[in-house]
A = this chain, B = another copy of it.
Amino acid sequence: MSQPKYLTGDKAGIDEFLSRFDVFLFDCDGAYDCKTPTPKPICVSSIGVLWSGDYLFDKVPETLEMLRSKGKQLVFVTNNSTKSRADYKKKFDKLGIPAKVEEVFGSSYSAAVYIARILKLPAPKNKVFVLGESGVEQELDAEGVQYVGGTDPSFRRDIEPEDFTKLADGSALDPDVGIVLSGLDFHMNYLKLATGFQYLQRGAVFLATNVDSTLPMAHSLFPGAGSSSAGLVKAFGKEALALGKPSQAMMDAIEGKFQFDRSRTCMVGDRMNTDIQFGIEGKLGGTLAVLTGVSSKEEFLSEGAPTVPMAYVDALGDLVA
């Protein structure tokens, strides 16, 4: 495997690199670096490609504008399933990142696109039972996918003895549900878990928006979407197909939406084992690592590194510096 090319300060190298691509996929998920779990985890603030916590990295808007001025298509990829693309756009606005709703590609939208454009179960048995927040529902709506569960208040209650009977005999189930979709659910409960498990036992397709084990929040780590679906995985004995990074089902969904040429597409990210791996496995034309995030230069430059990007910069803004 060849060594990744270092582009910071190399104007000719940058121009040549950018000319190879029409589409850039940007990782948008920050992460905390948490160490020493006893007695209290010490976590540095959210780090990533575009921002760190509430701090936008230097020259990020200029870089994005430069890419747009060259006619590049930008796609902002995030595993956060609780927010819809419209919700995410608000976050971008707040941070000062110029972006359009159509450029945001979250794992909830990824799941909706996968269900509507790739899976395409025949009606009527193509309804979705949702475990998750309104972000999932908004994106299913956007793709015209019918669903039950989700934020429906009738599921936000304790399980009662008669629920066991009605779930077991199927009278509490919607016969048209053919898919169970699990995302990060701050309102998880046993009733939803048991309902989802009944649908799975009856043959429903098992999908997850993403399976990140943790969620960085408030300078600490909280249970992530993978933690929300873990109960179903344990009961059912099979993993869900994840529609978030690094699952290639997300790449297929992005392609289903943007119809891009993979050989002319570049993944930009800070994590070797998720972002860069995602681009390599997706057979994209290129990958670009930024060093403002989780993975260090040593990690992918070392002898026998499992994942090596095509090129790297110290920070995204170096592309216009």
What is the interface of chain A, defined by CB distance below 8 A to chain B?
Answer: 34, 37-41, 158-159, 164-165, 167-170, 185-190, 193-194, 197-198, 200-203, 213-214, 217-224, 226-228, 230-235, 237
**Contact across chains for B218 and A194 when beta carbons are under 8 A apart:** no
**Separation of A214 and B164 alpha carbons in the complex (Å):** 13
A233 with B235, Cβ < 8 A, contacts A194-B223, A221-B197, A222-B164 known:
no
**Separation of A41 and B202 alpha carbons in the complex (Å):** 7
Closest 9 CB pairs of A and B: A168-B220, A38-B203, A230-B230, A230-B234, A168-B218, A223-B235, A227-B231, A164-B218, A227-B235
**Separation of A131 and B39 alpha carbons in the complex (Å):** 21
**Contact across chains for B227 and A198 when beta carbons are under 8 A apart:** no
**Separation of A109 and B159 alpha carbons in the complex (Å):** 25
CB-based nearest B residue for A166: B218
* 24 examples of A-B residue contacts, CB within 8 angstroms: A34-B201, A37-B200, A38-B202, A38-B203, A41-B202, A158-B187, A159-B186, A164-B220, A167-B218, A168-B219, A169-B218, A185-B190, A187-B189, A188-B193, A193-B223, A193-B227, A194-B223, A197-B223, A201-B220, A221-B235, A224-B234, A228-B231, A230-B233, A231-B231
**Separation of A231 and B192 alpha carbons in the complex (Å):** 14
Question: Among the interface residues A40, A201, A226, which one has the most CB atoms of the partner chain B within 10 A?
Answer: A201
CB-based nearest B residue for A164: B218
**Contact across chains for A220 and B202 when beta carbons are under 8 A apart:** no
**Separation of A202 and B159 alpha carbons in the complex (Å):** 32
Question: Among the interface residues A40, A165, A234, which one has the most CB atoms of the partner chain B within 10 A?
Answer: A234
**Contact across chains for B197 and A222 when beta carbons are under 8 A apart:** yes
Q: A234's contact among B38, B167, B187, B226, by CB below 8 Å, is which?
A: B226
**Contact across chains for A188 and B189 when beta carbons are under 8 A apart:** yes
**Contact across chains for B186 and A217 when beta carbons are under 8 A apart:** no
A39 with B203, Cβ < 8 A, contacts A213-B235, A217-B164 known:
yes
A221 with B201, Cβ < 8 A, contacts A170-B40, A234-B230 known:
yes
Min CB–CB distance A45 → chain B (angstroms)? 12
**Contact across chains for B165 and A218 when beta carbons are under 8 A apart:** yes
Q: Which residues of B contact A230 (CB under 8 A)?
A: 230-231, 233-234
CB-based nearest B residue for A162: B218
**Separation of A164 and B217 alpha carbons in the complex (Å):** 7
**Separation of A231 and B214 alpha carbons in the complex (Å):** 10
Min CB–CB distance A111 → chain B (angstroms)? 19
**Contact across chains for A186 and B190 when beta carbons are under 8 A apart:** yes
Q: Which residues of B contact A169 (CB under 8 A)?
A: 218
**Contact across chains for B237 and A213 when beta carbons are under 8 A apart:** yes
